[in-house]
Amino acid sequence: MNLILLGPPGAGKGTQAVQIAEAFGLLHLSSGDILRAERKARTELGQKAQVLMDRGALVPDDLILAMMVEHIGRAAERNGFLLDGFPRTLAQAQGLKSRLESAKMRLDHVVSVEVEDSEIVTRLTGRLYCPECGRTYHEKFSPPQVAGVCDVNGEKLLRRKDDTPEVVRQRLETYHRETKPLIAYYGEQGLLRSVSGVGEIDEVTARIKEACGA
């Protein structure tokens, strides 16, 4: 089985990707992890990406596509692949479709994890972390015993720069503009499966499994 997980930042895609890949025996391919690994290994593709990023430029679709397709080729050793964080744009989705067809492969499901923007803002802006031990908290869902202070060492908790309301809203705007059109694209192909991303982790996992016919 070959599938894609779509959803806004903060929808829990990364967590669900690990759960689903393990449940179905799939090769989990995270575009962010692959990009970091390619850069660290200083592969040809990784070095090209690094040069662009050093200039402050975005890594272009064709480069991301080349990286992902190379790793997708390894899915033959497993029961299929799960793409997490890719494709992000319509151009990437169209390029992926072409490459898969050339390799006599196809997608089986595209799962869209649906979470309202207001819930995403609450999830992301409430995150806190300890700079000393790295432990994470959430102001609403998993608060420290003493507000603003780490339970382990008493250090003052911090908020990541990209978890401010302004940045979170910008990220959501980018998602709606660039990635959400993929929902219509895959819907037209009969591949889209929409599930609610609200609830306990195992509840969402069960919904995704059911959507994929498990």
Active site residue 48: no
- Determine which one of 36, 140, 156, 160 is catalytic: 160
Q: Which among 13, 123, 193, 207 is annotated as catalytic?
A: 13
Q: What is the DSSP letter of 179?
A: I
- What gap in Å lies between CA 201 and CA 77, rounded to an integer? 28
Which of 130, 152, 151, 148 lies closest to 139 in space, CA to CA? Answer: 148
Q: Where are the alpha helices (DSSP H) in 5-164?
A: 13-24, 31-41, 44-54, 61-72, 90-102, 117-125
Q: Which entry of 48, 78, 88, 159 is annotated as an active-site residue?
A: 88
Is 39 an annotated catalytic residue? no
Separation of alpha carbons 47 and 89, rounded Å: 23
Residues 95, 174: Cα–Cα separation, whole Å: 20
Residue 213 DSSP SS3: coil
The CA–CA distances, whole Å, from 142 to 19, 134, 139, 192 equal: 21, 15, 6, 33
Q: Which of 135, 159, 171, 180 is catalytic?
A: 171
127 is catalytic: yes
160 counts as catalytic: yes
Q: Would you please indicate which residues are annotated as catalytic (active-site) residues?
A: 13, 88, 127, 160, 171
